[in-house]
Amino acid sequence: MIVEPLVLTDGALPGALLGEITGLYASNREFHRLSGDFPDPDDIRPGQVARSLMDELAQPHARVLLARSGGRLTAVAATLAHHPDPADPDPWIGLLMVHAEAQRTGVGRELAAYIEAGFRREGREGVRLAVLENNPAALRFWTAAGYLVTGRREDRELHRPCAVMRKAL
């Protein structure tokens, strides 16, 4: 797997890359039904995906990572080096999405480990994330990866109930 940061061209996503990312997002209809991030999970459009990614990148210290296997985009992740709450010392994984055709192949675990290793090299002591309460598959994935539920709260934007999880690095 090759992981690279998302690089904007003249402040925008290159069209071909946006098409690939949109395909990855569209392959995850069930997640989008649970999350409500897009109005119609069966009709996810490039402009919607571009806005979502630009919103991620608008956060200070945010990165979007793209993972490729065999030249094909297999996963995307968004991270925050510093949470907006200054009392929270940990970086966060805001999104980790694997193309539906690559799920259960180890791509998600490998990308999560890559992110964790990067934060560990930076001297960070832990990493956090939030899992939607209505997404038991994600809760199982992150628990199997060594994350522990440390609390419950609503997400900052859509006020959905979430389990906050943390892994010591």
What's the domain count of the chain?
1
Smallest CA-to-CA distance from 109 within 153, 158, 71, 144 is with 144
Q: Report the pLDDT averaged over residues 38-45.
A: 92
Smallest CA-to-CA distance from 110 within 3, 22, 23 is with 3
Q: Using DSSP, state whether 94 is helix, strand or coil.
A: strand
Among 25-34, 80-89, 107-116, which is the least confidently predicted range? Answer: 80-89
Burial class of residue 33 (count of CB atoms within 10 Å of its CB; 0-12, 13-18, 19+): middle
What's this model's pTM, rounded to 2 decimal places? 0.93
What does the pLDDT read at residue 132?
95
Domain span at residue 59 reads: 2-168
128-166 pLDDT, tens digit each = 999 999 999 999 999 999 999 999 999 877 889 999 999
Domain CATH code at residue 145: 3.40.630.30
Element (H, E) at 153: strand 148-154
